[in-house]
Structure 1
């Protein structure tokens, strides 16, 4: 993979991260393939397809309108980008850390595996 392709992968992940924090559902979902898969790391698939993904984050953004993620660290190898994030549901509210493993295909995110 070329340096330009790696940069593009990092830019893609950063752009979806920014759309997530802006709670811009249309922009956020545009970064994912139509057949996106979401799973717990080494666990069951929890979301299959963009319609289910959209519904999940529409509900999340409605339930937590002040939800924000802070990037702790990011690394990439080939078509995989791994983020360590700290998520705050609301000021003074629930906070948790999560690892997001993004698998890219065709210039979009095809799979996300979460470890929490």
Structure 2
């Protein structure tokens, strides 16, 4: 068990991020990220650096009417939080889902870095 206050616990911070994502609340979502946040497509392709880049990417994603990330499992080790999710998306070719592993490095009370590994895209409504 961590001796950090719940608001600074890495799992709580990542949960706030996930809740804001599912609520499509861009301001609440951005409040979970450090100013110098970096997002990577796993393992090392930088896709966004800094809150302006992340905000621009997420503002487009959050416009999807069916967007929802369903948490399948979470592992926490120190300041690393690894989520396994099924994400419902509105892809250009239609409604579908994609499996994803998201790994977040939490520094203080914010997410400093995130790595995202995508699985197979499946078309159709989620099961």
Give the secondary-structure state (helix, strand or coil) at the position aligned to 1:42. Answer: coil
Deviations 1:40-94 (A, max 9, x none): 11231010000010010101112x122000000000000000000100115x811
Higher share in helix: 1
Taking only aligned residues, the RMSD between alpha carbons, in angstroms, comes to: 1.6
Give the secondary-structure state (helix, strand or coil) at the position aligned to 2:22. Answer: helix
Give the secondary-structure state (helix, strand or coil) at the position aligned to 2:71. Answer: strand
With 41-50 and 5-14 compared, the bigger mean Cα shift is at: 5-14
Q: Give matches, 1:41-80, under 5 Å.
A: 41-62=42-63, 64-80=64-80
Give TM-score, length-normalised by structure 2: 0.83
Q: Is the 8 A contact 1:6 1:78 kept in 2?
A: no
* Count of residue pairs the alignment pairs up: 113
Q: Give matches, 1:25-104, under 5 Å.
A: 25-62=26-63, 64-90=64-90, 93-104=95-106
**Change over 3 Å in CA distance of 1:77–1:6 after alignment to 2:** farther
Give the secondary-structure state (helix, strand or coil) at the position aligned to 2:3. Answer: helix
Matching residue of 1:11: 12
Q: Is the 8 A contact 1:67 1:89 kept in 2?
A: yes
Unpaired runs of 5+ residues, structure 1, are none
Q: Is the 8 A contact 1:73 1:84 kept in 2?
A: yes
Higher share in strand: 2
